[in-house]
Structure 1
Amino acid sequence: MGVVAVILALGFAVWREIATSPDHCVQRSLSAYYYTPVRPVFVGALLAIGFAMIVMWGMTWREDAALNLAGLLLMVVALVPTLDANYCSLPKAIRKTVPDTETKEIADNALIKANAEAVSRSFTALLFVVALILLLTAVAGVVMMSRPSSTIHGPTNAALIGYAVTWGLAAAAWVFYFVIYQDADNPHSAFNHKVHSWSANLAVAFIILAVVFAALHKAHGNEPARTKWVWFYGLVAATMVLAAVVIKGGDHLDLFSGWVDDHATFLLEAILIALLGVFWTLQTIDRRAKGAPRY
């Protein structure tokens, strides 16, 4: 239930910031609260949730793999801030106006410069730790596989393939982040402008996959009450997908107006994090009497 508590803490901190702002202004994205007094809770919450996703075992290797990758990506989202941070700092009368290219470039460059040292320290620390974990995982895998099969109860072939793909993707992500970070000093680089959004979108995709895999696991199980859990997990996954399609699609097609148009990203992020809390609560109830899975 620690993950649910962290989500509640983040929600309360954001609500408190909105309630105490002069005109109850809501940022255009949840990530924009990085630049408010909510920053310690925002960063800490994403790091804690990401860490929990990695260390907690999914009931199948597919679910576990999706959670591992989602957790890694959420940590990147926490440490590399968005550049959409000026909404509530602007006078209310001009918040909806689109800044000219030069003004936006100046604002973006100022944000990048102001946070460069913090991003450098935290992101390089993450790269170092992930590289160390990948190395140790590879060594442990080689040692385990080199032992006589009669002395250990190893994973199934399907799980071996799954984890090879999982850690291969994690290694590829590390290489990608390492290479793209080399251009971090350039204010126009993809690292400063794209890494946050790319990582957030992929993290959401892997979270949805994890929920889908949980539903599929229940669908193929032998438990008497499995049907209701298929419906529970399936409903959470379907709601996540529906929210992403409707809100993001509507935003790109200019179907919304007013507050929803200005805060489509915030609305979607809030819904998805709330549904993640629902999923984790369902897992806690469903799996409270089970030990570590074997596959």
Structure 2
Amino acid sequence: MDRDAALDTYRYLRGGIPVMLIMLGVAIAIDVARTGHWLTSISAYYFTSAHAVFIGSICAMGTLLIVYRGVKPTEDVLLNLAGVLAFVVAFVPTTRPEPEVAIGLVPDATVTANVWALTVALLVSRIASWALYRRTRTAPDLGPIARAAMWMQRLLLLAGVVTLVAAPHWFVANAHGIAAVALFAAIIATVFLTAFVADKGVVDSPNPALYQWLYRWIAVVMAITLIAAVVAHYALSEFSHVVIIVEIVLLAEFFVYWAVQTVEKWNPPADSAEHQSCTAGEEHVLKAL
């Protein structure tokens, strides 16, 4: 494969996530302008005129997070987990907000059918990737942190499937909140990994010290956001919009992180980790064919 085509594909994958965040934000802003009030969480816009954009953008971001290959194995595992959880957030609605909004209640059977479709698709993809890696002997070499993250991911997804089988009504009532919290946790862990572990000593960047400094500041601001959210939850118990404010701020911070990292890695040199990973993957695919 031509390097320019591979590089452009890599850039499009990275650029897609900010575009989806912008689309979701605009759809919510339009609904707020139309109705004159904010709902208490981003997830509540599932039930509004932003319904299609909410599901579509979240699923698109989930796909991009799964397809994008992290620079380090642990980052890749965390992004894959966040991508899978994004589908659960999109398919399983949160509690219906008040006042009454546009979209009616979604039957439990519809929700579980969508989640089963996701489960089967993930299972097929896992079997296919395992078979191809085994055939071509190209399984990634995971370090201890990445391996622990991988097992955490597997156990979390297994618990979700078991709950879906054994207690589908409980799953429908609670899966969205659990998946949303775990999704934000995976995103924040990814930022902290880049800021304090994964990129330490990386020389592929045109200015590694500057980007390392930016990543660490973003990570610190995210931590402050979480602490402020906990304090606000108890100090402002009567204020019902704490959740949506925290969600918007965290997504904005992730947007900044992803944009900064995209700028840093926009044109990796031919001998960089990103380029070597890309070209090695192309060679393995060609051999498999």
Q: Which TM class, normalised by the smaller chain length?
A: 0.7 to 0.9
Structure 2 counterpart of 1:124, one-letter code = W
C-alpha distance in structure 2 between counterparts of 1:198 and 1:183, whole Å: 17
1:272 and 2:243 correspond: no
Which whole-Å CA distance do the structure 2 matches of 1:60 and 1:262 have between them? 39
Q: 1:293 to 1:52 in 2, by over 3 A?
A: farther
For 1:39-188, what aligned pairs fall within 5 Å after superposition?
39-83=51-95, 85-89=96-100, 111=105, 114-145=106-137, 155-156=140-141, 158=143, 164-183=147-166, 186=169
Deviation of the 1:245 alpha carbon:
1.9
Unaligned runs of 5+ in 1: 91-109, 146-151
| Structure 2 counterpart of 1:245 | 227
Cα distance in 2 for partners of 1:194, 1:77 equals 11
Structure 1 stretches of 4+ with a deviation exceeding 4 A read 154-157, 161-167
Pick 1 or 2: higher relative contact order, CA cutoff 8 A, min separation 6: 1
1:213 aligns with 2:198: no
Q: Percent identical across equivalent pairs?
A: 24
Query: How far 1:176 sits from its partner (Å)?
Result: 1.7
Gaps of 5+ in 2: 1-14, 269-273, 281-289
Contact 1:26/1:88 (<8 A) preserved: no
Question: 1: distance between equivalents of 2:215 and 2:107?
Answer: 39
Q: Which amino acid aligns with 1:64?
A: D
One-letter code of the match for 1:138?
Answer: W
Larger Rg: 1
Q: Which amino acid aligns with 2:156?
A: A
Q: CA deviation at 1:167?
A: 4.5
The alpha carbon displacement at 1:59 in A equals 1.5
Q: Deviations over 1:164-219 (max 9, x none)?
A: 54554443333222211125554xx2x12221111111111110111112223333
Q: SS of the counterpart of 2:199?
A: helix
Deviation at 1:77, TM superposition (A): 0.8
Change beyond 3 A, Cα 1:125–1:214: same
Aligned 8 A contact 1:218 1:230 in 2: yes
Determine if the alignment matches structure 1 residue 196 to structure 2 residue 176. Answer: yes
Amino acid at match of 2:120: F
Post-superposition shift, 1:39? 0.9
Measure, in 1, the Cα distance between the counterparts of 2:121 and 2:58.
Answer: 17
Displacement of 1:269 in angstroms is 0.8
Residue 233 of structure 1 and its aligned partner are, at CA, apart by 1.1
> What is the root-mean-square deviation of aligned Cα atoms in Å?
2.5
